[in-house]
Structure 1
Amino acid sequence: MDDVPFLFVNTVLHCLNSESLAAPRLLAHPLWSSVAEEHYGKRKDYAFHLIKHFNANQITMQHLLEEGHTDPEQWLRSDKTYLRVRELWFNVILSRSAPEITLEEALQWSLRMAPYLNDLNEIILFHLGGKKERFDFLWKRPCHTLSYYNYFEDTSVLRWHLQNNDRLKSTNTCLFSYDDVRDLLPLCAEKRLTWEMTFPLNSNNLNSVKTWQGDAQWDEIYPTVPAQPEKGMAFYEDEHIRKEFLWSSRGPSFFTVTWK
């Protein structure tokens, strides 16, 4: 393992976080395994939360492996050599430990955080509160997964990521009927996307699932509502697509489409 050229490893780690290489570069003859061990051992990953609940706004930082929140000002002042922001949240649940701020203050805080949001694994969006354009510099960012659970706004956020986000591999949303998103499906196929939809099982949602059936022979498999049996699965796969319907009468149900 240590025979791998250090310059190669140096380049890889530079792509991950250039600032974190300052200390390893001081070593006379570093083995790449020791560089990687130090790099990952000291790394801390965070989530940036923009919270909007009616007229109340909050900004928080949360360590992904620890409880509680970190003050954004404290985070910005800290040594960020080994810090990364990996998740961006647009949330609606207020935090008891964070002060309320104005919309303009939330905007200014978001602008200050923007330079540190270039290596996102996931964007989780519940609600933009009608401020989609003002905060587009946040949600218009590359990420591997887009979780979009907004029932009340259009699909323009999802469309933007399908058209512009080259890193996008998967998306999680509420349930859409096939006809509602038909025009987005060629983009999904182009990206070989995995799209998981989460929903409670009821007659309306079951009808929406049926719009995705296509060539799948599921007519004798679908549950009745109220669901009998309590849990079940329907699966279909061909050379272009894979569909899976997991239902539960006591918890969330899932419909997942993967384009090959």
Structure 2
Amino acid sequence: MIDVASATVRFGDHTALSEAQFSAAEGEFVCLVGRNGSGKTTLLRLMAGLAEPGTGQVRIAGHAATDLAARTVRGFVQADPPLYDYLTVREQLSFVCRLHGVRLEPALERLRHTVLADRHDALVRELSLGMRKQLGLVAATLHDPALVLMDEPTNALDAAAVTALRETVRGWHAQQRTLVLCTHDLAWAEDLTDRLLVLEHGRILHDVRLEDETVTAALRRLDPTGALTRPDPAPAAEESVR
């Protein structure tokens, strides 16, 4: 389903991703972890077809990640959903449904158990970040993609929404969809993921199959100090000059 071959991304003198290489079979659930700036989101964007590597290649279901054929089998749940502020919730979903050639009613039905159940006519710009995240999740997956990419999907969600998302993801996994998750909140995915990719400074340091251990146990074994997943410290405040 996923084939990343020696993918490198540079921004000027900065190398965001260096010789990244891995493949994922249909039905695998892969979790990406690493410190801020380690290359996780860059790797996700390559798989989502939103960027191209300077060298190497990324293929989805046998197609270049930027090809239309790849987009039809993939959904990308972004940390900041790409929504149109001056559309209503219904209009936003209707627009995406037309792009994918699917019916609107099933998409609206997916909102029934969310805080947007009775907000179909609300403008997107009036929604809280948590509501936007839930709308973005439905919009990204309403065509039932075989591959779902998720970048910090639980950020800004309340406890009930996180629980609902967990059950949704569990259902996708049971359906043998391929899933790639990037998150700092590993607790909710602890018993769901099959595989762990640890990135640092744009490189994939570890590729671990979680057959006999949890995500937390694997990270403690690989990195007892927690340095790989600990957020970068804030810059120290400058001392005042007397």
Q: TM-score interval w.r.t. the shorter chain?
A: 0.3 to 0.5
Under a length normalisation based on structure 2, what TM-score does the superposition of the two structures give? 0.33
